[in-house]
Amino acid sequence: MQQFDGKMAVVTGGGTGMGRELCLALARAGAHVATCDVSSDNMAETKALCEAAAPDGTRFTTHRCDVSNETQVLAFRDAVMAEHDVDHANLVFNNAGIGGGGDFLEGPREEWERTFGVCWFGVYYMTRAFMPLLVASDEGYLVNTSSVNGFWASIGPMTPHTAYSAAKFAVKGFSEALITNLRVVAPHVKVAVVMPGHIGTSIALNTSQVLGKGTAMDMSTEEVALIRKRWTQLGMPVDNLPDDDIRRAIHQRGIEFRDKAPTTAAQAAEIILDGVKNDRWRILVGADAHRIDELVREFPEEAYEPTFLEKLARDNHFAGLMNPPAAAEEG
């Protein structure tokens, strides 16, 4: 698919981050775009940006949809077909995702299942709903966002990360299996799996809101106690740190994750769309993603040891995973 002009594109999680930047890049290129998100306010901002950038004659619609709910996904599909007056889609970007659910043993089950529901079932339900529209097109591309956590289930040696990693491994395996399935049944439809490293998005800030917890400053005493326990295990002097200081540290980490990333969301969107244009099924995003991929293949037995992170830090990747939060240092 060498150009996007006049194509029908569907993007989940278009309210912020990579989803917004994908919408913007596609709109600029002349594609008709339908996007969904759980935040109507964020989508309104995306819509204003896209309509200002798009050529005359292109259509851009927003739809409120929780992709972990199949009924809402089917309603989203029907609304796209009705509002764009189409019976097909050329591009479907399964981009929506949240964090959370890190601790399988001590964390709340509801949070684990909510994270897994958005990050895996969102991809599954969307693919079930929109695959017939891709098959009905003259050329189609399904683009599923996994993560480096789809082949490396870690964000640090003492930080459990189970729900997100399990979901992203599932997305990667599902997408790779579809390569042969589509080649046999619908060869005009391609699939790509996207594996970003650290991208400057608001996922760390948005997750608490999607999980119904407000912001990091609204974390319960129990949640703060669990974080305090993890940081103490890492040797951080947080025993006497007030709960609100820990909340502020978590919030600050979310801001720094967004604002100090080595790859911006706009750069990530450009890499993804270039991958589609170059007919690639495996799209690594960011130098850190490429390096983690190399190291996991070279040192698979070491992937979950502190020495693995030390190798990454020497290359200036994910160095923050080895460092205490700023608020803890200042405490």
pLDDT for 243: 84
- Rounded Cα–Cα distance for residues 290 and 317 (Å): 11
Q: Which domains does the chain have, with CATH numbers?
A: 8-216+263-318 (3.40.50.720)
The amino acid present at 292, given as its one-letter code, is I
User: CA 45, 205, 311, 147: dihedral to nearest 10 degrees?
Assistant: -60
Which positions ≥6 away from 207 have C-beta within 8 Å?
98, 99, 100, 115
Among 305, 320, 307, residue whose Cα is nearest residue 157 = 305
- Rounded Cα–Cα distance for residues 78 and 31 (Å): 19
CB 43 within 8 A of CB 64: yes
pLDDT tens sequence for the chain (331 residues)? 999 999 999 999 999 999 999 999 999 999 999 999 999 999 999 999 999 999 999 999 999 999 999 999 999 999 999 999 999 999 999 999 999 999 999 899 999 999 999 999 999 999 999 999 999 999 999 999 999 999 999 988 778 999 999 999 999 999 999 999 999 999 999 999 999 999 987 666 565 555 556 677 777 888 788 778 777 776 777 788 888 887 877 777 767 667 778 899 999 999 999 999 999 999 999 999 999 999 999 999 999 998 998 999 888 887 555 444 433 332 2
Query: Tokens 């060498």, residue?
Result: 2
The amino acid present at 135, given as its one-letter code, is V
Pinpoint the alpha helices (H) of 101-189.
109-116, 122-135, 162-185
Among 254, 257, 250, residue whose Cα is nearest residue 288 = 257
Q: Which residues are catalytic?
A: 164
- Rounded Cα–Cα distance for residues 162 and 159 (Å): 10
DSSP code at position 75: H
- Rounded Cα–Cα distance for residues 307 and 314 (Å): 11
* Structure tokens that stand for 195 in this block: 């594996």
Query: Tokens 């600050």, residue?
Result: 252
* Structure tokens that stand for 297 in this block: 């293949």
- The separation between CA 310 and the C-alpha centre of its own chain, rounded to angstroms, equals 25
- Rounded Cα–Cα distance for residues 209 and 173 (Å): 29
At 318, is the secondary structure helix, strand, or coil?
coil
